Amino acid sequence: MTSPAKKTKAAAGELRVLHGETLTSALDPLIHERVRLGIVSALAGTDGLSFRELRELLRLTDGNLSVHARRLEEAGYVVCKKGFEGRVPRTEYRLSAAGRRALTAYLDHMEAVIKAARSD
């Protein structure tokens, strides 16, 4: 099993050897994009959010949110449920297990990058 110190050193090595482009490409591009990172983070802090709540929270336009939410849905990171509340249509999103794992992996990666930079 790899120790955290070894992981940090490995990340530092990655930083030095691979430079920016390769390291960036090692990141999950779906989550690395800021709007999608916001959607995933917002959903991670709740049991689920409606389309309007997400739009208000992240200060996005309808179109922008739709496009990014669809990409996350296609990747299986987000589950979308459409229904009605009375006669009003309601679209609700929640983070899937795969989405939660992807966010955790992204957080680990970012923390490793910071540790690597500090150890340099």
Partner 1 sequence: MVRRSRAESVALAEASEPLALPHRAADDLRFIRRTMETSGAFTSLPGSTGLALSATAFAAAGGASLVDDDTRWLSVWIGAAILAALLGVLFVERRARGMGTSLLGLQGRRFLLGLLPAIVAGAVLTFVLHSGGLTRSLPGVWLLLYGVGVTTAGLLSLRLLLVMGPLFMLLGVGALLTSPVGGDLWMAAGFGGLDLVFALVLRKISR
Using CB under 8 A, list all residues that contact partner 1: 15-16, 19-21, 23-24, 34, 37-38, 41-47, 49-50, 52-53, 56-59, 85, 88, 90, 103, 106-107, 110-111, 113-114, 116-117
Which lies closer to partner 1 via its Cβ, residue 16 or residue 81?
16
Q: In this complex, which beta carbon is closest to partner 1, that of residue 1 or of residue 85?
A: 85
Q: Which two tokens stand for residue 21?
A: 């482009």
For partner 1, the closer of residues 1 and 22 by Cβ is 22
For the CB of residue 100, give the shortest distance to partner 1 in the complex, in Å.
Answer: 12
Cα 107 from Cα 22, distance rounded (Å): 18
Residues 6+ apart with CB under 8 A from 120: 12, 15, 16
Tally of CB atoms within 10 A around 68:
23
Q: How far is the CB of 40 from partner 1 (least distance, A)?
A: 8
Residue 20 Cβ vs partner 1, minimum distance, rounded to whole Å: 2
Least distance to partner 1, CB of residue 56, Å: 5
Nearest to 93 by CA among 60, 63, 52, 50: 50
Comparing CA positions, the residue from 8, 5, 13 lying closest to residue 112 is: 8
